[in-house]
Structure 1
């Protein structure tokens, strides 16, 4: 038993090392996209903190979701964050599964390049939207009387540029549209396309719907913030996904390390012609020659028999 465990551990370690080398090579070619995406995450956090300085608490706006869904209350506000954290962490773990699992379909670096492209586009639209109009926040810490409802005037530039987790948890003013929904929809749609488990896909969509309702019931966003996120994020992903090159599929146990471009395809075709490999490999099936005619195997016609009438 100990020998078997040791052998499996050795295979796992070799798999991790081989995958690490592959991903490092991909990262060396795509680090600009990863770094650019991470910088945009910081800019988004900076913009969300900046709009908090403009936030002015006021009466909660009339909202259909608030009327239909019972208010969870401040003591149960953690439920929606728990669902979001589960979706967030589950997706991150899935993107790193090629390091540990033999059967895999994606490259970690390439999938994150794609995810960051979706996030950046959606967050750019979000920044424009919530700076256009500041609504009174419906969350408990954004209401009149809360010490977090307004940010005091900053004493120095570092206070503005420093984005802390507390500021992200107690932000106000960045309402339309929901950032939680951006991350959740991008992650679920990405897994829906590149994941392999149908049951997990269905559960993921159910989790996003539940999270949407919990966000409204927790009074963290107005219903419009969630509704706008649903159609905006899906449309953005649909448009960008058509422009990006398709990821190589590893499920067949091979394939190119990176997706082929048109230039690479033309070079491959030229190389085949130079080597005398004309056309498809299907054209090189064994053929049989009968009475001066070349016929493919499986379609041999007995010409002489037909001529003799037998």
Structure 2
């Protein structure tokens, strides 16, 4: 039994090391996109904090969702945040599953390049929207009489540039459209395309619908904030996904971005024009042995797939 466990642990460690090498090579080629996406996340947080200084509390606007859905109350505000945290962490863990499991369809670096591109585009539209018109926040800490409804004038630039997570949770003024829905919809749509479990896909969409209702019931956003997020995020992801270069299929044994796979196609054209080189590429191994590594693919198979 201990021998079996040791053998499996050794295979797992080799799998992690091999995947780490592959992802590191991809990161070396795409680190600029990852860094730019992370910087934009900071800019989005900075913009959300900036609009808090402009927020002026007032009477909560009439809202159909508030009329139809029962109010959860301030003491149950954690419910929607718990659902969002579950969606967020589940997606993050899924993007790193190639390091552990044999069945792999995605590359972690490449999937996060796409996700960050979706998030940045949606957040850019969101910043334009909530700076265009500041609505009185419906959340409890944004209402009249709350000391958190409006931030005091900053004494120095660091107070604006440096913000803590608690300040983000208690923001006001950044309403249309919901940031929580941006993340959730981007994550679910990404898994819908690259995930392999149909049941999980169906559950994910149900969870996002439930989260939408919980956000309104918690009075964290107006119904319009959630509604606009649903069609805006889906449209943005749809159009940007069509413009981005598609990720290589792992089933073909590819370990590099598609931009480098294009060079493989060019080499294939050269081989077609050079029969002697083609025969050298497809020649059987001298010892007659075939590699047992399931991730390896013969050159002829890769070229045929292209």
Shared fold per TM-score greater than 0.5? yes
Shift of 1:166: 1.1
Matched residue SS, 2:258? coil
- For 1:150, the equivalent position in structure 2 comes to 150
Q: In 2 relative to 1, CA 46–201 (structure 1 residues): closer, same or farther, beyond 3 Å? A: same
Name the stretch that deviates more: 113-122 or 266-275. Answer: 266-275
More helix by share: 2
1:53 maps to 2:67 = no
Equivalence map 1:27-176=2 (5 Å): 27-176=27-176
Post-superposition Cα deviations, 1:167-186, rounded to whole Å, max 9, x if no partner, equal 11100000000000000000
1:235 maps to 2:254 = no
TM-score (structure 2 length as normaliser): 0.88
CA contact 2:22–2:255 (8 Å) conserved in 1: no
Number of equivalenced pairs:
278
Question: What is the aligned-residue RMSD (CA, Å)?
Answer: 1.5
Tell me the distance in 2 between the aligned counterparts of 1:263 and 1:23: 20
Shift of 1:262: 5.1
- For 2:258, the equivalent position in structure 1 comes to 259
Tell me the distance in 2 between the aligned counterparts of 1:141 and 1:275: 74
Tell me the distance in 1 between the aligned counterparts of 2:36 and 2:155: 29
1:226 maps to 2:226 = yes
Shift of 1:272: 2.5
Shift of 1:275: 3.0
Tell me the distance in 1 between the aligned counterparts of 2:177 and 2:158: 27
- For 1:205, the equivalent position in structure 2 comes to 205
Structure ID, larger Rg? 1
Tell me the distance in 2 between the aligned counterparts of 1:140 and 1:275: 74
Shift of 1:256: 4.6
- For 1:274, the equivalent position in structure 2 comes to 274
Tell me the distance in 2 between the aligned counterparts of 1:267 and 1:232: 42
Matched residue SS, 1:103? coil
